[in-house]
Structures are given as C-alpha cells and as structure tokens.
Amino acid sequence: MMQQTRTGLKELQQLDMRIHDAHQKIRDFDPMFEEVEEPAITLESELESSRKRLKEMRLEERRLELSTEEKRDRIKRLDERLGGVRNLREEAAVSAELEMVRRGLQNDEQEAMTLIDLVRKGEERVSELEAAFTEASELVEPKRKALLADREEARKDLELLEKTREGFAAELDPEELRIYQAIRGKGQRAAVAELTEDGACGNCFGVVPLQHQNEVRHGDTLIRCEACGVILAAPDPDAPEAEAVIAASVPPQAEAEDVEGEASDEEDEEDDADGSEEEE
C-alpha cells in the first residue's frame, strides 16, 4: 500500500500552499498596474477640466463680442437721434441713454480684456498638460508591458503548479484525498500535520492517545486528531530537524515549536527564491 505514513498528503499540502501563494502573487499585480497608470490618469482628468474651462471662457468671450457689437450699434443709432431731437427734454433723455450705453460698452471692453488674458493663460495650461500627458502615457506603456509579462510568468508558474498537483493527487488514495479536501475546504486550514516527537498533534499540540500514535507511526489507517481534526502523519525519519531535536533533547513543548519554526523558515526561503527570479 502506498503513502502509508501520509507522506503524499503532506506533500499535497505543500503544493496547495504554494498554489495559494501563486494566486496571491497574481492578485498583487492589480495595485502595481494602478500605480503605473495613475500619473497619466490624473493628468488626463486635469487636462479634461482645463479644456472645459477654456471652452467656457471662449463662449463668454463670444458673448461679450456680440454684446459689444450690439452696444456700438445702439450708440450709433442714439447719436443719429441726438441730431434730430425736437426739444431739450428729448435731448436730455437721449443723452442719458447714450451715456448709459457707453458705460456698459466700457464695462464690456474691460471684461473682454481680462477674459482675453485668462483665455491666453488657459491655452498655455492646456498645451502644458497635453505635453505632460503625452509624456506620462509614453512612460506608462513600457512599464505596463513589463508588468503584463511578469504577471503572465506568474500565471504560467501557477498553471504548472496546478498541473503538478493534479497529477500528484491522482496518485493518492481517493478516500484519503476526499477527507483531505473536506478538511481543507476553500480556506487555508491545515489538513495534515505531523505527529511531534512527544506524541502531540503538530497542528494544535494536543496530546494524541498512545494507541493512535502507534497507528499513525505504522500508517495502516488514517488517523485524525481528536482535538482539531487534522489528518495525522508520521514524522519524516529522514528529516534533519527530527534528528537534531532528538540529539538536543529539549523539553517537549519547545521541541514541538522548534520543528514548526524550522518548517516555516523553509517556506520563507522558497518565497525569497521566487521573489529574486521575478526581479531579473
């Protein structure tokens, strides 16, 4: 009978942890894309609002032009009427109106001058932003492409891991695999843990009854921890940490933590190796 000491399930769990990390690595690209695209997006929206303001100012400029023209026409007509007044009262009325329209014209002209200046500044701002936006967009493209390539690489890594896992799982006892999946579920819950040297569960450190310890070590049947439910696996006799622990004969509790600690160090090293590959 194969995988009697649940070595296969332990390895499967290692693979599943690596698959989980690979998924996370792919998700981590999303904020990186945002960061790369953000400067160009900010400039684009600034450019849009500057263009909108400029358009409004130009409309206002046009409105003032029309208003000025209209006032000039009125002044011309009032001047003509002033030449043909029949009495002083009529002359006073036309003069007063003329004066009022002239003042209005002056105001319009003053406003037009200010507006011409604002339009000129607005045009400068728009062309500055256009240049900055073009430059930023050109910078985005190569960075985006590099990120796309890196993410594609990460996806291929994941695909490979999933294929390996599929092949590996096919070799395992279907019933044990079913139990493993049921415990693990969709989360990151540990489904397999080694028995510690002092006969405790490697996941919750609850003491495993002697009878069960023997069954786990012989590997004939699948035994689960009564406290936390993980599948118990026999410790790997070739694992260097197991020998080291025996040699040092540390107190039972510390020993258990030691094994756990070394296991997670190994995991970190793997992560580091992945990280440096990605940078190249």
Which of 17, 78, 118, 228 forms a contact with Zn ion (CB under 5 A)? 228
Number of H helices, E strands in the chain: 7, 2
Distance CA 37, CA 30 (A): 11
Residue tagged 């400067």 (tokens)? 39
What is the x/- site pattern for Zn ion, positions 113-152, by CB under 5 A? ----------------------------------------
- Taking CB under 5 A as the rule, does residue 169 contact Zn ion? no
DSSP line for 189-233: ---EEEBPTTSBBTTT-PBPPHHHHHHHHHTSS--B-TTT-PEEE
Backbone angles phi, psi at 22, to 5 degrees: -65, -40
What is the x/- site pattern for Zn ion, positions 58-97, by CB under 5 A? ----------------------------------------
Which of 179, 225 has the CB closer to Zn ion? 225
Largest Cα–Cα distance in the chain? 130
Nearest distance, CB of residue 200 and Zn ion, angstroms: 8
Which of 101, 193 has the CB closer to Zn ion? 193
Q: Which window, 49-57, 111-119, 124-132, 218-226, contacts Zn ion (CB under 5 A)?
A: 218-226
Nearest distance, CB of residue 191 and Zn ion, angstroms: 11
For 182, other C-beta atoms within 10 Å of its C-beta total 10
Which of 83, 187 has the CB closer to Zn ion? 187
Which of 112, 136, 227, 244 forms a contact with Zn ion (CB under 5 A)? 227
Nearest distance, CB of residue 206 and Zn ion, angstroms: 5
DSSP line for 56-108: HHHHHHHHHHHHHHHHHHHHHHHHHHHHT--SHHHHHHHHHHHHHHHHHHHHH
Q: Which window, 71-79, 136-144, 158-166, 220-228, contacts Zn ion (CB under 5 A)?
A: 220-228
- Taking CB under 5 A as the rule, does residue 183 contact Zn ion? no
Nearest distance, CB of residue 167 and Zn ion, angstroms: 29
Q: Which window, 4-12, 29-37, 47-55, 222-230, contacts Zn ion (CB under 5 A)?
A: 222-230
- Taking CB under 5 A as the rule, does residue 225 contact Zn ion? yes
User: Going by C-beta distance under 8 Å and a sequence separation of 6 or more, which residues neighbour residue 81?
Assistant: 94
List binders of Zn ion among 194-213 (CB under 5 A): 201, 203-204, 206
Q: Name the residues that contact Zn ion, by CB under 5 A.
A: 201, 203-204, 206, 225, 227-228
